[in-house]
C-alpha cells in the first residue's frame, strides 16, 4: 500500500495554557502564528531559518493568500505552502500533509501551528463583524445550510451531536453513566496537567448527570468548554530530527475521510468516517490496535469519543458503552485517553482544539507529560473530527 | 428583543421546491439513471453527476430518523422558542430532511422510527412556507 515511510517527525510542540478569560495580551492571528512558530522552534532547539514549509488554516486578518502572507510576515521563504479546511480535523490533516511534503523532499521543516485565541485587537474605525452564531454553518446565499438547515434552527453543534447520540441510543442503547465516565476520567487527567482549564477541579459521574441538559441526551459536562489558547508542532525530516532536542515522534500512518457536511445526509449517521481513516492509518503503519500506548481522540462531546473508539476499531460497534465502563481511561489506566484532559477538560481553544490532540500524543511519546506521563509510551493514536462527524483524520505517531 | 429568525431565500436551482411548498405540495428531484430521489435541489445528480434530475411530487410522509429536544436555544433568534424539537425525517421515498417537530404534546413520547406527517407553515409576514413535521395520528 502507498503511504508514509515514517521518515518525518514531530520534534517540537507548543501549547498555550488554556484561559477562559484571556490574561495574555490580545494578538492578531498573524502575531499568534509568529508566537507559536517561535515556541515550537525553541522547543525543538532548531533555528527559524530551517523552516521552508507552512501548513496553515486561516487568518482573521486576511481571507486569502494565507501561506504567502505568513511567509512574508515571518520572513521565511517557502518551498511548500498549504491551507487546510477540515474543521476540527484540520490539525491532524495538517500534520500528515506536512509529513508527506517532507518525505517527498519538497521541504525540510514544516510549521503546523494553529492560533486559538479569538481575543484580537479591535479596530476603532471599523464595526465588528456580524452575528457569530452561524458557527460552522454558512448563511451565504445559495448555501445548502442557509436554505435547508438554518431556517429550522439547525445551527451550531450541540443539536446535531445530540441527534447523533439519540440515533445511537435507538440502535444500541445509551448508558449516560458510561458517557459521563469519559468526562470524569478525562477530568482526572486534566487534574494532572497544569495547563488545563479545569486543573484542580475533579468531577464525578453524578456531577455530570446533575449538570443541565443542553440538547437531550447531552448535558453541559458532555460538551467542550471554549477557551483561549493556541497550539502547534514542527514537522521535520530525519536529518533535522537528529539535530533536534526532543525524542523524534515519527508520523507512521494516517488516513482521512470526508463524507458530508450535515449528518442528515450521511449514509448512516452512527457509523462515522473515522472507521475508514483509522483502517488506513493502521495498515499504513503496519500496527495493530493493541500497539497503541496512548490515544488522543477528538472529544467535542463525550458521544464523539465513544463512537470514535468503536469506529476506529478499539471495541465492537455498539459495545462502546460497556467498554468504557470496563476500562480505566486515565493516564494511570489500561487505556490512557486524552491524557492532558482533552478538549472537554483542557478546553477547546477554537481551531487549535484539534492540535491539542496532536500535542497530547506527541508529548507522551516524547516522555514529557510530567505527572500525567504514561509509562513506556511509544505509540500514539490521534484523531481529528470536523463538522459533525463529517470529516475525520487518524494519525499514528511513534517513537523509535 | 429577539433577533428575527432567518428565512430561506429561494435560488434559481431550488425555486420549484419553495414554490410548491407555498401551494401545500412537496416537489423534490428524482434521477432516473440513479433510480432514486435526491434532496436538496441540485443541477446534477450526486455521485454520478448525471444530467437527468427531474422534479416529482411526493406525499412527504416518513419516519422520525432522529431528533433532539434543545433546552437551550441553538442561536439567539430562537431564544423565545425553546424547547426546540430539532428533527431529521426520513421520507418514505428515501432522502432525509432536516426539520422541526410541531404539535408535540409530550416530547417524552417521541420515538425514533415513529411515523410523521408534513405540516406546511406559512411564516408570518413573509411569502415563505416552511415544511415542518408532526407525529402522525
Per-residue pLDDT of chain A (400 residues), as tens digits, is 689 999 999 999 999 999 999 999 999 999 999 999 999 999 999 999 999 999 999 999 999 999 999 999 999 999 999 999 999 999 999 999 999 999 999 999 999 999 999 999 998 898 876 657 888 899 999 999 999 999 999 999 999 999 999 999 999 999 999 999 999 999 999 999 999 999 999 999 999 999 999 999 999 999 999 999 999 999 999 999 999 999 999 999 999 999 999 999 999 999 999 999 999 999 999 999 999 999 999 999 999 999 999 999 999 999 999 999 999 999 999 999 999 999 999 999 999 999 999 999 999 999 999 999 999 999 999 999 999 999 999 999 999 8
> In terms of Cα–Cα distance, which of A159, A285, A172 is closest to A223?
A159
Chain B residue with the nearest C-alpha to that of A167? B66
Which residue has better confidence, B1 or A192? A192
- Which residues does chain A have within 8 Å of residue B99's beta carbon, measured at their own beta carbons? 152
- Min CA distance, B94 vs chain A (Å)? 11
pLDDT in tens, A153-205: 999 999 999 999 999 999 999 999 999 999 999 999 999 999 999 999 999 99
Contact flag A134-B72 (C-beta cutoff 8 Å): no
- Min CA distance, B80 vs chain A (Å)? 12
- Min CA distance, B17 vs chain A (Å)? 11
Q: What sign has the CA pseudo-torsion A224, A230, A235, A239?
A: negative
User: Given CB atoms, is B2 within the 8 Å cutoff of chain A?
Assistant: no
- According to the model, what pLDDT value does residue B106 have? 95
Q: Which residues, 6+ apart, have CB-to-CB distance to A336 below 8 Å?
A: A189, A293, A294, A295, A329, A330, A364, A374, A377
- Which residues does chain A have within 8 Å of residue B77's beta carbon, measured at their own beta carbons? 153
Q: Which of residues 36-65 of B touch A (CB under 8 A)?
A: 40, 65
Cell of A199: 486543573
Query: Which one of A139, A148, A156, A217 would you mutate to disrupt binding with B, by most B Cβ within 10 Å of its Cβ?
Result: A148
Q: Tell me the C-alpha distance between A399 and A327, whole Å.
A: 25
Chain A residue with the nearest C-alpha to that of B100? A152
- Min CA distance, A221 vs chain B (Å)? 14
- Min CA distance, B48 vs chain A (Å)? 15
Chain centre distance of CA B75? 19
Q: What is the pTM of this model?
A: 0.97
User: Given CB atoms, is A173 within the 8 Å cutoff of chain B?
Assistant: no
Q: Tell me the C-alpha distance between A235 and A12, whole Å.
A: 8
Contact flag A147-B112 (C-beta cutoff 8 Å): no
Q: Tell me the C-alpha distance between A166 and B102, whole Å.
A: 18
pLDDT at B1 over 80: no
Chain B residue with the nearest C-alpha to that of A140? B9
- According to the model, what pLDDT value does residue B29 have? 98
CA distances from A81 to A54, A98, B63, B103 (A): 5, 10, 47, 53
The answer to whether the beta carbons of residues A174 and A217 sit under 8 Å apart is yes
Of B10, B71, B75, which has the smallest distance from its Cβ to A155's Cβ? Answer: B75
Contact flag A153-B65 (C-beta cutoff 8 Å): no
Query: Which one of A144, A148, A152 would you mutate to disrupt binding with B, by most B Cβ within 10 Å of its Cβ?
Result: A152
Query: Which one of A135, A136, A160, A166 would you mutate to disrupt binding with B, by most B Cβ within 10 Å of its Cβ?
Result: A166
- CATH node for A8-121+223-398: 3.40.47.10
User: Given CB atoms, is A58 within the 8 Å cutoff of chain B?
Assistant: no
* β-strand partners of A211: none
DSSP reduced 3-state for A228: strand
Chain A residue with the nearest C-alpha to that of B78? A153
Chain centre distance of CA B24? 13
Q: Which residues, 6+ apart, have CB-to-CB distance to B33 below 8 Å?
A: B45, B48, B50, B52
- According to the model, what pLDDT value does residue A182 have? 98
- Min CA distance, B110 vs chain A (Å)? 11
Chain B residue with the nearest C-alpha to that of A262? B98
- Which residues does chain A have within 8 Å of residue B111's beta carbon, measured at their own beta carbons? 170
Read off the pLDDT of each residue in B28-41 and give the average, rounded to a whole number.
Answer: 98
Chain B residue with the nearest C-alpha to that of A168? B66
Cell of A202: 475533579
Contact flag A216-B8 (C-beta cutoff 8 Å): no
Query: Which one of B3, B4, B86, B111 would you mutate to disrupt binding with A, by most A Cβ within 10 Å of its Cβ?
Result: B86
A154 φ/ψ sector (left φ>0, alpha ψ -120 to 50, else beta): beta
Q: Which of residues 90-119 of B touch A (CB under 8 A)?
A: 96-100, 111-113
Q: Tell me the C-alpha distance between A39 and A16, whole Å.
A: 9
Contact flag A163-B81 (C-beta cutoff 8 Å): no
User: Given CB atoms, is A225 within the 8 Å cutoff of chain B?
Assistant: no
pLDDT in tens, A109-150: 999 999 999 999 998 898 876 657 888 899 999 999 999 999
Domain segments of chain A: what residues? 8-121+223-398
- Min CA distance, A255 vs chain B (Å)? 22
Read off the pLDDT of each residue in B92-120 and give the average, rounded to a whole number.
Answer: 97
- According to the model, what pLDDT value does residue A135 have? 83
Contact flag A264-B75 (C-beta cutoff 8 Å): no
- Which residues does chain B have within 8 Å of residue A142's beta carbon, measured at their own beta carbons? 11, 13
Amino acid at each position: 500500500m502507498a503511504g508514509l515511510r515514517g521518515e518525518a517527525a514531530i520534534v517540537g510542540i507548543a501549547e498555550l495554557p488554556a484561559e477562559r478569560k484571556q490574561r495574555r495580551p490580545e494578538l492578531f492571528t498573524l502575531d499568534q502564528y509568529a508566537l507559536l512558530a517561535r515556541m515550537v522552534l525553541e522547543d525543538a532547539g532548531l533555528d527559524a531559518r530551517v523552516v521552508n514549509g507552512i501548513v496553515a488554516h486561516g487568518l482573521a486578518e486576511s481571507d486569502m493568500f494565507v501561506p504567502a502572507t505568513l511567509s512574508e510576515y515571518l520572513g521565511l521563504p517557502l518551498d511548500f505552502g498549504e491551507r487546510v479546511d477540515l474543521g476540527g480535523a484540520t490539525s491532524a490533516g495538517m500534520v500528515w500533509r506536512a509529513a508527506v511534503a517532507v518525505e517527498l523532499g519538497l521541504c525540510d521543516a514544516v510549521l503546523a501551528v494553529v492560533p486559538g485565541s479569538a481575543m484580537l485587537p479591535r479596530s476603532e474605525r471599523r464595526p465588528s463583524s456580524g452575528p457569530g452564531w452561524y458557527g460552522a454553518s454558512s448563511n451565504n446565499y445559495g448555501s445548502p445550510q442557509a436554505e435547508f438547515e438554518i431556517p429550522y434552527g439547525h445551527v451550531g453543534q450541540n443539536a446535531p451531536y445530540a441527534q447523533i447520540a439519540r440515533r445511537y441510543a435507538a440502535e444500541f442503547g445509551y448508558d449516560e453513566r458510561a458517557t459521563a465516565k469519559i468526562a470524569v476520567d478525562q477530568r482526572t487527567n486534566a487534574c494532572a496537567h497544569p495547563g488545563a482549564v479545569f486543573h484542580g477541579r475533579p468531577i464525578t459521574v453524578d456531577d455530570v448527570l446533575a449538570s443541565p441538559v443542553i440538547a437531550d441526551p447531552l448535558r453541559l459536562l458532555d460538551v467542550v468548554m471554549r477557551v483561549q489558547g493556541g497550539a502547534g508542532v514542527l514537522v521535520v525530516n530525519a536529518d533535522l530530527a537528529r539535530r533536534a532536542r526532543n525524542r523524534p515522534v515519527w508520523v507512521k500512518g494516517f488516513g482521512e475521510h470526508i463524507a458530508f457536511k450535515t449528518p442528515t445526509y450521511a449514509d448512516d449517521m452512527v457509523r462515522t468516517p473515522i472507521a475508514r481513516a483509522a483502517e488506513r492509518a493502521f495498515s499504513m503503519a503496519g500496527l495493530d490496535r493493541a500497539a497503541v500506548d496512548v490515544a488522543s481522540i477528538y472529544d467535542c462531546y463525550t458521544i464523539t469519543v465513544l463512537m470514535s473508539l468503536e469506529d476506529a476499531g478499539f471495541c465492537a460497534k455498539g459495545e462502546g458503552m460497556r467498554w468504557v465502563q470496563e476500562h480505566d481511561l486515565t493516564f494511570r489506566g489500561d487505556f490512557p485517553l486524552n491524557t492532558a484532559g482533552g478538549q472537554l477538560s483542557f478546553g477547546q481553544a477554537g481551531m487549535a482544539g484539534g492540535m491539542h490532540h496532536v500535542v497530547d500524543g506527541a508529548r507522551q511519546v516524547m516522555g514529557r507529560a510530567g505527572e500525567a506521563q504514561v509509562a513506556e509510551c511509544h505509540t500514539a493514536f490521534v484523531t481529528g473530527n470536523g463538522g459533525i462527524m463529517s470529516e475525520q483524520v487518524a494519525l499514528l505517531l511513534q517513537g523509535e | 428583543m429577539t433577533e428575527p429568525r432567518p428565512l430561506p431565500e429561494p435560488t434559481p436551482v431550488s425555486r420549484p421546491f419553495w414554490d410548491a411548498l407555498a401551494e401545500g405540495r412537496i416537489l423534490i428531484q428524482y434521477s432516473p439513471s440513479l433510480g432514486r430521489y435526491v434532496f436538496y435541489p441540485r443541477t446534477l445528480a450526486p455521485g454520478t453527476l448525471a444530467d437527468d434530475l427531474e422534479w416529482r411530487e411526493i406525499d412527504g410522509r416518513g419516519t422520525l430518523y432522529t431528533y433532539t429536544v434543545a433546552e437551550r436555544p441553538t442561536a439567539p433568534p430562537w431564544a423565545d422558542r425553546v424547547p426546540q424539537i430539532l428533527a431529521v425525517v426520513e421520507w418514505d421515498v428515501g432522502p432525509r430532511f432536516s426539520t422541526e417537530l410541531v404539535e408535540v404534546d409530550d416530547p417524552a413520547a417521541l420515538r425514533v422510527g415513529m411515523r410523521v406527517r408534513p405540516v406546511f407553515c406559512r411564516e408570518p409576514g413573509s411569502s415563505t412556507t416552511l415544511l415542518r413535521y408532526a407525529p402522525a395520528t
